[in-house]
Amino acid sequence: MIIAGHRGAMAHHPENSLESFAAAEAAGADEIELDVRRTRDGVLIVLHDATLDRVALDSSGHGMPPVAELTYDEVSAIMLDSGRPVLTLEEAYRATKITLQVELKDPGCVEALAAFFDDHPDRAARTIFTSFHADALERAKELIPGIPRGIIVFGHPSAEEYPEGIPALLRRTGSDIFHCGWPGLTREVVDAMHADGHPVRGWPMRDREDLERAIALGIDGTTSDDPALARSWYEELTGVGHGRR
């Protein structure tokens, strides 16, 4: 089972920070999940929220406009709880060696990502795009077709939420991987996805019971705030040691 470190190892270090990413790699995570947005002047940064409010070290970053409305110089002038400014995507790649699961938080960042990978083609080989935004993945399919994609949903949806159906949603977004929250995720759903050639990843991985459920469902991967702990649960429950993929 692939275990991705959620924003690194955010159970122990500030999310989306160099320390968090290093801890995830040291813990044997197979991938690191991180969030990408862009500044007004097109710099790709690693940030979950639309604003700096929650992660600013002090009140200097509170009440500022969304980062999409600020220049990189304005954003990087604010110290985060990591004690550093916000990371750029390039800094995240330079600091890591394993696959990065790059979640597209802002659909408007896809054009900047296309330019980034034109300039850094070597980074593409260890990248997976994910998003809750189908339009962002559609645009990535068009502009950066060589990088695998995965749609994220909160649970196995009803026909009212996705009237086109999940198979059609996967085709529309060119998604290779189906990232699904636990509600409505059954062994039958997982088996059907596998039959169609789609790996399934369940989330979130908060406790041992979640991992027991993941194993019972037969999913292929998950995301954890504490990848070392998740890996230890997996090895205890299955007897399978870690072999990095």
- 53-79 pLDDT, tens digit per residue, is 999 999 888 899 999 999 999 999 999
125 by Cβ neighbours in 10 Å (0-12 / 13-18 / 19+) ranks as exposed
pLDDT at 32: 98
**Which CATH number is 2-238 given?**
3.20.20.190
Nearest to 104 by CA among 140, 130, 135: 130
Q: Model's pTM, two decimal places?
A: 0.95
Nearest to 218 by CA among 196, 239, 202: 202
Each domain of the chain, given as residue ranges in start order, spans 2-238
pLDDT at 242: 63
Which is it for strands 44-46 and 177-181: parallel, antiparallel or unpaired? Answer: unpaired
Partners of 44 in the beta sheet?
38
Mean pLDDT confidence for 89-110: 97
CA dist 245 and 237 (Å) reads 19
